[in-house]
Structure 1
Amino acid sequence: MSSQTAPIRPRLFHGWLVVAGAFAVMFVGFGSAYTFSAFVEPLQRDFAASRGSVSLVFSLAGFLYFGLGVISGPLADRWGSKSLAVIGMLLTAGGLIAAGLATSLVQVYLAYGLGVGLGVGASYVPVVGAVQRWFVRRRGFASGIAVSGIGVGTLAMPPLAAALIAGFGWRQAYIVLGLLAALIGIGMALLIENDPRDRGLNPDGDPVEPGVARAAPEGFPVRAAVGSGRFVGLYIACVFCSFGLFVPFVHLVPYALDHGVAQGSAVLLVGIIGIGSTAGRFFLGDLADRMGRKNALTAMFAGMALSMAIWALAGSFWPLAVFAFAYGVFYGGFVAIIPSLVMDYFGGRNVSSIIGVLYTSVAFGTLVGPTAAGFAFDFSGSYQVPILASTAAGLLAAVIVAALPKAAGAPRG
């Protein structure tokens, strides 16, 4: 082939800009959502509410931002991920600002629960699905970098929220977070694109050979994918895991305060989850590319469960910090691996739609788990039962995934 007709690899593969946009959207969305633990005490105080009823605010948001993927995923497959990401960031910003203006806990349910829940739900699955299409050889690594936005947001945003609450009050803190979501989230969402073929490229930046017809992506139809044994097993495992998945994000700070840890140190524990989560997303996603993503996911479920056992025995800052970091590592690996495993099993044609259906499993567990843990504390004065129940559920999830078959090539068409 002559040099005039040889395909040229772009100097900067746009897939990495898609990764950067996805990173920022998840940093803003989940980072804002995971500040909630810092707001539990002032919301309880100002609205004279129980810990269980305040926890329901986060559970409603979590249910929506995972459950909405079943709608936002297919919309992204049809219309593109960029528009969904921009809409999601607008809703997130509006929900946070409205929460800061709320005069009752019911209004916080509506503002935070619906605004942040719908906002993250509209953007999360579309941007994760977009990243999967841009990579093959380094899919786990790219996906890990993208979703590490959640970990970095978990590290940065709760301490920022705590500082804003201490300096200006919880209402002003929510308004500032909303403005940041609008500026950063919307601006970076504009980098998201659905498919490298729209730029005349193949995944990983490989140029399209001249004269070669543009091939449609391979993959299962949605109905065939969700009816398969592999999907059903993965779904059930995620349901079990998700009952305890977000309990630390809501209750770790109140738990630490109950055990005499200072407010600043207690909020720092959520940031330590973010540090571990960031490390897990960067390094375990890449490791999963080599060891097999099914085996890696099994290890993530088991690791989250066993780290919960550390929490059950911890009563001071440093043991809680060990738990927070360990939990964060395995949680981050779980979030990084799941989308790539879906791509392995079912192909790229409908990957956003299939991920969206799968994440409804996490939605149901998130709706129940943090709220049940809060009411368990209100009833017994202890978190031991929900922590140990989360440990058992995580181990069961690991057993289910270990029994799944290895990924096979998706059919054409």
Structure 2
Amino acid sequence: MSRSKVFAGWWVVAGAFLCMLTGYAVAYSFAAFFGVLESEFGARRGETALVFSIAAFLYFQFGLPAGLIADHTGPRPMVIGGLILVAAGLVVAARASSLWQIYVGYGLGVGVGVGFSYVPSIAAVQRWFVRRRGAASGLAVAGIGVGTLVGAPLAHELIAIIGWRQAYLVLAGLTVVGAIVAGALVRPGPERYGLFPDGDPPRPGGGSAVPTGYSLGGAARTGPFWVIYVGAFLMSFGLFVPFVHLAPYARDIGLGEGFGVLLIVLLGLGSTVGRFLFASVTGWIGRRRSFAMMYVGAAVMLVVWSLSTSAPALVVFALLFGAFYGGFVAIAPSLAADYFGAGALGSIIGALYSGVGFGALLGSPAAGYAFDFFGSYTGAILVGAVLCLVSFLITLMMPEPREWLARHQQPR
């Protein structure tokens, strides 16, 4: 390949960015639908929050089988098929006559669809880069932040103009377009094309570009795997609560539903900035320490939210919590690649994210039911903060990837 051309890995980054923008714009648009679904079906907050939680649980659980399949077939079929499932789920939701049909359409369709597309796309990026892995991952997962930024306000405007059912259909059409374009851009690792990660020239005397590293079974028998798994699992109890409950929280304290949607936009803005900002920090203090910072930052911000009753305080919370969330999502795949290599990275990332699914399933409904029972979100928010601090402490105890690999030379 001529050195004057753009390295093909950056097109993979663009495809992964668009894949995540499309899927997560739909996923995080739920905040705009929360109020109308609650009114339409006469549901309690815990019941309404369960719609998003089912989707979040499934997209983290399906990351493992999606990663396993993509490790053998390549990412393209998974990206296209997953996003088409998202669109199909939205069509089902648009025709719902009861809340359980929203559970099936939005919860199942978006959950399985995002799960099938997300892990293969982000794992594909890791294979194309080593030296620039952090920057490439940050760019790719910025799609989640941009999706959060545009999904809720777009849905809010569509609901106001054409109603929630037609809004779901418009989002379905946009998702199909995203599936086609993202699928055209993502591709298997550079070894399939005789290339090397980062666009490096062939090594003197030859050498293989085929990725090496731990198998899923080998990774699952290591300490770092379980530290990352448990840390992400504990954090996830509080991680998704703002994406579901921040808009109704704003409405409850008299700031209005429109301001609540604005807060979701600010979460997306903070998330987008955080992915770039904290991805660059990893070069100074290392990915493990940077990852630990995301946990403690999220904990502090949850405490801030529990004390916030004014618009400026909630704006600060949304921006900074979004930034730490974005950094967490940006650093996690690269940290896994640092420990376990790229050979079976799709299935490894999928397995690690499965723990997040359980926290996502339980956290938001628990916060909703806590509000239904106590009339306040405070206790649920503070429990989430404490769990983030536990994740911070166990991550600090984990060895650095380079030190750990020096004691574990042979992939298994």
Give the TM-score band, short-chain normalised. over 0.9
Deviation of the 1:210 alpha carbon: 7.8
Given that 2:141 and 2:275 are in contact with CA atoms closer than 8 Å, whether structure 1 keeps it comes out as yes
Residue 135 of structure 1 corresponds to which residue in structure 2? 129
Q: Does 1:342 align with 2:336?
A: yes
Residue 165 of structure 2 corresponds to which residue in structure 1? 171
Given that 1:8 and 1:207 are in contact with CA atoms closer than 8 Å, whether structure 2 keeps it comes out as no
Whole-Å Cα distance in 2 between the matches of residues 348 and 66 of structure 1? 20
Secondary structure, aligned partner of 1:260: coil
Residue 47 of structure 2 corresponds to which residue in structure 1? 53
Whole-Å Cα distance in 2 between the matches of residues 87 and 300 of structure 1? 32
Identity %: 49
Deviation of the 1:190 alpha carbon: 1.5
Cα distance change of structure 1 residues 10 and 78 upon mapping to structure 2, 3 Å threshold: farther
Q: How do residues 63-74 of structure 1 correspond to structure 2 at under 5 angstroms?
A: 63-74=57-68
Deviation of the 1:412 alpha carbon: 4.8
Deviation of the 1:108 alpha carbon: 0.4
Residue 396 of structure 1 corresponds to which residue in structure 2? 390
Whole-Å Cα distance in 2 between the matches of residues 117 and 95 of structure 1? 9
Q: In terms of mean alpha carbon deviation, does 322-331 or 188-197 score higher?
A: 188-197
Q: Deviations over 1:368-405 (max 9, x none)?
A: 00011111111111100111111111111111111111
Q: Deviations over 1:65-112 (max 9, x none)?
A: 011011000101000001100001100111112111111101000000
Residue 411 of structure 1 corresponds to which residue in structure 2? 410
The one-letter amino acid of 2:298's match is: M
Q: Which of 177, 184, 191 matches 1:190?
A: 184
Given that 1:200 and 1:207 are in contact with CA atoms closer than 8 Å, whether structure 2 keeps it comes out as no
Residue 311 of structure 2 corresponds to which residue in structure 1? 317
Question: Which structure 2 segments of 5+ residues have no match?
Answer: none
The one-letter amino acid of 2:20's match is: M
Whole-Å Cα distance in 2 between the matches of residues 411 and 176 of structure 1? 51
The one-letter amino acid of 2:336's match is: V
Q: Which of 323, 326, 336 matches 2:320?
A: 326
Whole-Å Cα distance in 2 between the matches of residues 151 and 128 of structure 1? 14
Q: Does 1:161 align with 2:155?
A: yes
Given that 2:248 and 2:257 are in contact with CA atoms closer than 8 Å, whether structure 1 keeps it comes out as no
Whole-Å Cα distance in 2 between the matches of residues 404 and 209 of structure 1? 33
The one-letter amino acid of 1:411's match is: Q
Secondary structure, aligned partner of 1:182: helix
Cα RMSD, aligned residues only: 1.3
Whole-Å Cα distance in 2 between the matches of residues 53 and 244 of structure 1? 18
The one-letter amino acid of 1:289's match is: G
Whole-Å Cα distance in 2 between the matches of residues 172 and 381 of structure 1? 33
Q: In terms of mean alpha carbon deviation, does 150-159 or 283-292 score higher?
A: 283-292
The one-letter amino acid of 2:109's match is: G
Q: Across the two proteins, how many residue pairs are aligned to each other?
A: 407
Residue 221 of structure 1 corresponds to which residue in structure 2? 215
Residue 270 of structure 1 corresponds to which residue in structure 2? 264
Residue 251 of structure 1 corresponds to which residue in structure 2? 245
Given that 1:10 and 1:205 are in contact with CA atoms closer than 8 Å, whether structure 2 keeps it comes out as no
Whole-Å Cα distance in 2 between the matches of residues 117 and 295 of structure 1? 31
Whole-Å Cα distance in 1 between the matches of residues 228 and 374 of structure 2? 33
Residue 174 of structure 2 corresponds to which residue in structure 1? 180
Whole-Å Cα distance in 2 between the matches of residues 204 and 130 of structure 1? 13
Whole-Å Cα distance in 2 between the matches of residues 45 and 66 of structure 1? 29
TM-score by length of 1: 0.96
Secondary structure, aligned partner of 1:153: helix
Q: How do residues 101-120 of structure 1 correspond to structure 2 at under 5 angstroms?
A: 101-120=95-114
Whole-Å Cα distance in 1 between the matches of residues 321 and 209 of structure 2? 41
The one-letter amino acid of 2:52's match is: F
Whole-Å Cα distance in 2 between the matches of residues 202 and 235 of structure 1? 30
Given that 2:270 and 2:320 are in contact with CA atoms closer than 8 Å, whether structure 1 keeps it comes out as yes
Whole-Å Cα distance in 1 between the matches of residues 189 and 209 of structure 2? 12
Secondary structure, aligned partner of 1:190: helix
Residue 148 of structure 1 corresponds to which residue in structure 2? 142
Residue 357 of structure 2 corresponds to which residue in structure 1? 363
Q: In terms of mean alpha carbon deviation, does 366-375 or 177-186 score higher?
A: 177-186
The one-letter amino acid of 1:275's match is: L
Question: Which structure 1 segments of 5+ residues have no match?
Answer: 1-6
Q: Deviations over 1:131-184 (max 9, x none)?
A: 001111110110001000000110111011101111111111111111111112
Given that 1:220 and 1:347 are in contact with CA atoms closer than 8 Å, whether structure 2 keeps it comes out as yes
Q: In terms of mean alpha carbon deviation, does 286-295 or 394-403 score higher?
A: 286-295
